Amino acid sequence: MPRRGRGRNFGRGHWRGRGRGRGRGGSSSDAGPNEEETSESIGTSESVGTSEDLDKSLECSSDQTEEVKDNTEEEKEGVEEEPGDTEGVFLKEGDVGITEYISSSPGFSAIIKQRYSDFIVNEIDEEGRLVRLTSLEVDRSQMPADEEDDDTGLDGVLSPEQKEKLDDFNANPNPKRVIDICAPVDKVTRGKVHQIVRVRYKKLESDTLVEDDVRFIRISVKGAGGHWGSGQHFRQQNFQRKPWPAGFGNYCRFVLYKENMDTMEAVHKLTKFFHINKNMFQFAGTKDKRAITSQEVTVYRVKAEKLVGANRYFYKMALGNFRYVEQPLKLGQLSGNRFTIVLRDVTGTDEVIDSALQSLKTNGFINYFGMQRFGTTAIPTYRVGKELLKSNYKEAGELILQPRPGGFHNRV
């Protein structure tokens, strides 16, 4: 039987959806504290749906499964335990103050997040626009011209004889062949020779070499290694990254689409693929793992043409909607998130469901912190936090240091 979440009492004015079927409460999102959450019902582009929307979603829920029993029902009768003191006893909503509702409606029950595709998250950027992946192509009309591809002012640098040889070499590349030309004394002119090779002869590469105090430019087929010669030459040009073209912003901003994968895992995959440091990527906030999410990411001085190449290799992840900006994204630089949630195994009369949805649309709900925020260890984090708020630092420290079932102190 697949693991799944449980939901109950929808429409009474607070969110109590259960998360991943572990017998404890969940929340509508794992979004970080810097992210303001907005809720969206099934299949709508508005913040709250209608009963018609719910009816449409129910038509797609024919593959209903048997409801999982609550772990708390398995507790032995007559055993009184303080919440969180015993391993295996999970917190309930009432233990952490999730008790109040906006609506007096009895609400209805449903299952949420039975599948990761039942939970869709779209980031809302700082200007209030919904982030969606709409294009996997690089729109070159929106990209500034690359100075390296500009061959203005390069005519007359090479002699007609040199140009004829390079034209033939580029048309018939032979890895065993090299062409040596005398290097101009002027450094600027030497740079123009290298630029001609980069721009006009895409199959060739050039390097400035020195032999017996004589400087020359060796032209060879790309990747053939001809610039190293017999080993008696040394390479004068050092290994420096090509300068970032003028007119580009320092950061490429793009939409990251991912399925069943958290943000940090996606970024880690990209850093390994492109062989760059993870600190070159920035984002406004992390998104849920068990969901389909779309968010914006910035990366420092990596061209869109390079980023788009990753789409051929990754499964359940895609990059698109590329543009260049001057500033990176910062944590919390967003207006919120929009959630599209599928409810399954909905139980309740049409009257109750309509009443609950109308209340949700009109009055909203109390956006409590989800149960996952209170920890899963024997000492719930809210108990430590309560003592800290009361300035009882000694008691808070004792709670933190209190032995846990299965901890090192219990091992022989």
Catalytically annotated residues: 288
DSSP, res 14: B
Cα separations in angstroms, 402 against 103, 374, 380, 384: 40, 17, 12, 11
Residues sharing a CB contact under 8 Å with residue 343, sequence separation 6 or more, in sequence order: 7, 10, 42, 54, 57, 61, 110, 111, 112
d(CA 203, CA 104) in angstroms, rounded, equals: 74
d(CA 259, CA 117) in angstroms, rounded, equals: 8
- Encoded tokens for 56: 């449409």
The C-alpha angle 257, 258, 262, rounded to 5 degrees, equals 125
d(CA 252, CA 299) in angstroms, rounded, equals: 5
Q: How far is CA 352 from the centre of its chain?
A: 38
Q: Tell me which residue has tokens 């969940």.
A: 26
The number of beta carbons lying within 10 Å of the beta carbon of residue 253 is 20
d(CA 23, CA 29) in angstroms, rounded, equals: 17
Amino acid at 238: N
d(CA 196, CA 149) in angstroms, rounded, equals: 9
d(CA 11, CA 359) in angstroms, rounded, equals: 7
d(CA 125, CA 334) in angstroms, rounded, equals: 4
d(CA 227, CA 235) in angstroms, rounded, equals: 8
- Encoded tokens for 64: 């209903």
Do residues 85 and 319 touch, judged by C-beta distance below 8 A? no
Do residues 387 and 396 touch, judged by C-beta distance below 8 A? yes
d(CA 227, CA 73) in angstroms, rounded, equals: 76
- Encoded tokens for 305: 């043409």
CA neighbor of 387 nearest in space, from 379, 378, 397: 397
